[in-house]
Amino acid sequence: MAVVIESSVWEPNPSLFVFIFLACLLSVFLLPYASRSAPPSVFDHGASLHSSRFQRNFLLLYSLCSVMEGVPSVFGEFEFSYFGVSREQMVLSLCVGFAASLIVGSFLGVLSDTIGHRKFCLFFCILHLFVGIWKRITAHPSVWVASVCLSLASSIYSFSFETWMVVEHEKQGHREDLLSDTFWLMAFLGSASFIGSQVFANWLIGDDLKKRMASPSTAAVLLALVGVICVARLWRGSSQQEVFEDHGRSYSYFFDDRRIWLLACAQACLHFSISMFWILWTPILVADGRELHLGLIYPCLLGARMLGSTIFPWLISGSLSFRTEDCTLYAFIISGFVLSAVAYDYQEIGVLVALFFLFQACVGVILPSLARLRTMYVPNDLRGGMISFSLAPANAAVLLFLVHGGYYRSVSNAAIMAFAAVGLFAAAGCMHVLKRLGKQPYQHLRKL
C-alpha cells in the first residue's frame, strides 16, 4: 500500500492583514487626541494652505518614486533566472551593484549638496527611465548595467528626497512640527508604496509570464516619465541654485563634530542590517526545504514597518513624550535582540515571521527618528553628504559578506545575522553617547 505524504505551503493568517490595517488606521486617526501638544499638522485643518500643499505635493512625489524604486525588485531573482542568469551571476551582479554604491554613491551626496538636490531627484528618475528602456529594447539585457544603475538610483533615493524636502521646508518658512510629521509619513507612505509596487507588478504580469514579462519595464518607463515631469515642475518657483557659500568650511565642521559622527555610525549600522535582512530573509525562512508563500509574507513585513512609523509620533508627541534619542536607542536595542535570536537558531516559521515583523516595526520607528536627529544636529548644507558618507562603510560590509557568504559560501547566514545584530547594538551605543553629549545647535555655522 502506497504512503501519501501531504505537504502544505505555510502562509500568514489572513487576520494578520486585518490587524495591521486596523492598527495603522487607529494609530493615525487617534493620534491628535493623545497628543499633549498641538495636534500634528497632518490633522491640523488650521494650518496654512501653503504648508499643507507643500507637504502633500512632496509626499505624492515621494510615493510615486517609491513605487518606481520598488517595481524592479518584485521579480528581481525570477527575472534573472528567466533570462538564464545563474545563481553565481546573480550574486556577482549584487556585488557589482554594492561596489558601485560604495565607489560612486558615497560621493553623490556631497555632489548633491553642491549642485542641488532637485537635480539629483531628476537624475534618479532618469536612471529608472534608462533601465526600463534598456530592458525593453534588449532581448537579453545586461544584468551588470541594470544592477549599477539601480544601485546608484537607490543611493540617490536614500538621501536626495529627504534633503531636498528639508532645504525647501526651511526656505519656505514652514512650521517645524510639519517637518517631523513629514518624516514619519515618508516612512509610512514609502512602505505602503513598496506594497503597492508588488501588487502593481503582479497585476501587470498576470498568468502569462512569457508574453507579459516586459510589462513591469514598460510601467517603469511610464512612471519615470511622470516622475521627471513632477520633479521638473515641483517648487520651480523657489531658488534653483543650491550651491552653498564656503562649502569647505562647512565640511570642516562636519569632521570636527562628534554628534554628526555618531549619527553617521548609527545610520551605517542600520543600513547594513536592513540590507542583509532583505538579502537573507528568504533563505532563512526556506531553510531545510520549508515551503512558504513568500508573496504574502513580504507585505506583512512592510506593513509592520508602516505600523512602526505610526508609533513614532505617539512616542514623540503623545502622553509619554520620549526624547528622540531615547526612542532610537530602545528601538535599536530591541531590533538587536531580535536579530540575535534569529542568528542563534532557525526557529519555527511562525516564530521567525514574528521576529521579522518586530524587526521591521523597529525599523519603522528608527527611520523617522534618525531623520529628526539629522535635523537637530546636521546643517542642511551637509545633510546629503553626511547620509551618503555613512552608507559607504555599510556598503563595504555588505559587499564583503556577499563575496564570502553568497559567492564562496565561507560564512553562514546565521553568522551574518549575528554581525548585523552587533551593528545594531553598536548603533544603540552611539545613541546613548549622543544623548549624554546633548544638543549643540549648529546655527553658529551660518554666522561664520
DSSP code per residue over 373-399:
HHHHHS-GGGHHHHHHHHHHHHHHHHH
Q: What is the CA radius of gyration of the chain?
A: 22
Q: Are the beta carbons of 402 and 94 closer than 8 angstroms?
A: yes
Look at residue 147 in the predicted model and tell me its pLDDT.
Answer: 87
Q: Quote the pLDDT of residue 300.
A: 93
Grid cell listed for 356: 521579522
The domain spans of the chain are: 55-237, 247-448
User: Residue 129 in 3-state DSSP?
Assistant: helix
Match 497628543 to its residue by C-alpha cell.
35
pLDDT at residue 402, rounded to an integer: 87
CATH class of 247-448: mainly alpha
The whole-angstrom separation of Cα 145 and Cα 72 is 13
Taking the C-alpha atoms of residue 353 and residue 16, their distance in angstroms, rounded to an integer, is: 11
pLDDT of 35 reads 63
Tell me the three cell numbers of residue 345. Answer: 537558531
Contact assessment for residue 384 and residue 73, using Cβ atoms and an 8 Å cutoff = no
398 in Cβ contact with 280 (< 8 Å): no
How many Cβ atoms sit within 10 Å of the Cβ of residue 236?
9
Which residues, in sequence order, are bridge partners of residue 292? 10
- The predicted pLDDT at position 331 comes to 96
pLDDT value for 424: 97
pLDDT at 46: 44
Q: Do domains 55-237 and 247-448 have the same CATH topology?
A: yes
Q: Which amino acid is at 130?
A: F
Q: How far apart are CA 302 and CA 64, in angstroms?
A: 17
- pTM value is 0.89
Nearest Cα residue to 154 out of 269, 78, 214, 66: 66
CB 217 within 8 Å of CB 136: yes
Which residue bears the cell 521638473?
A: 232
CA dist., res. 323 & res. 438, Å (int):
11
pLDDT at residue 222 in the model: 93
pLDDT of residue 49: 57
What nine digits make up the cell of 282?
528568504
Q: Please give the pLDDT value at position 32.
A: 73
> Is 197:74 a contact under the CB 8 Å cutoff?
yes
Contact 368, 74 (CB under 8 A): no
- Of the CATH numbers 1.20.1250.20, 1.10.1740.10, 1.10.3370.10, 3.40.640.10, which one belongs to the domain with range 55-237? 1.20.1250.20
Could you tell me how many helices (H) and strands (E) the chain has, helices first? 18, 0
Half-sphere exposure of 311 (CA within 13 A, CB side): 20
- What pLDDT does residue 36 have? 56
Q: What is the pLDDT of residue 253?
A: 61
pLDDT (0 to 100) of residue 40: 45
Rounded to whole angstroms, the Cα distance separating 406 from 90 reads 10
Please provide the distance, in angstroms rounded to a whole number, between the alpha carbons at the two ends of the chain.
89
CA distance 373 to 356: 25
**Cβ neighbours, 10 Å, residue 421:** 22
As to burial, measured by CB atoms within 10 angstroms (0-12 exposed, 13-18 middle, 19+ buried), residue 448 is exposed
- DSSP label at 268? H
Cβ-contact 329, 432 below 8 angstroms: yes
Mapped onto helix, strand or coil, the DSSP state of residue 320 is: coil
93 neighbors 147 (Cβ within 8 angstroms): yes
| 86/90 Cα distance (integer angstroms) | 6
Q: For residue 94, what is its C-alpha cell?
A: 549584487
Per-residue pLDDT of the chain (448 residues; tens, 9 = 90+): 444 444 468 888 889 889 999 999 998 888 777 665 544 444 454 455 566 788 888 999 999 999 999 988 877 667 777 777 777 778 888 888 889 998 988 889 888 888 888 899 999 999 999 998 988 887 566 778 888 999 999 999 999 999 999 988 888 877 777 888 899 999 999 999 999 998 888 888 776 666 666 778 888 899 999 999 999 887 664 444 444 445 554 556 666 788 999 999 999 999 999 999 999 998 888 887 778 888 889 999 999 999 999 999 988 876 667 889 999 999 999 999 999 999 887 678 888 999 999 999 999 999 999 999 999 898 888 899 899 989 999 999 999 998 887 767 788 888 999 999 999 999 999 999 998 887 655 544 443 3
CA within 13 Å, CB half, 40: 27
Cα–Cα distance measured from residue 263 to residue 242, given in angstroms and rounded to the nearest whole number: 24
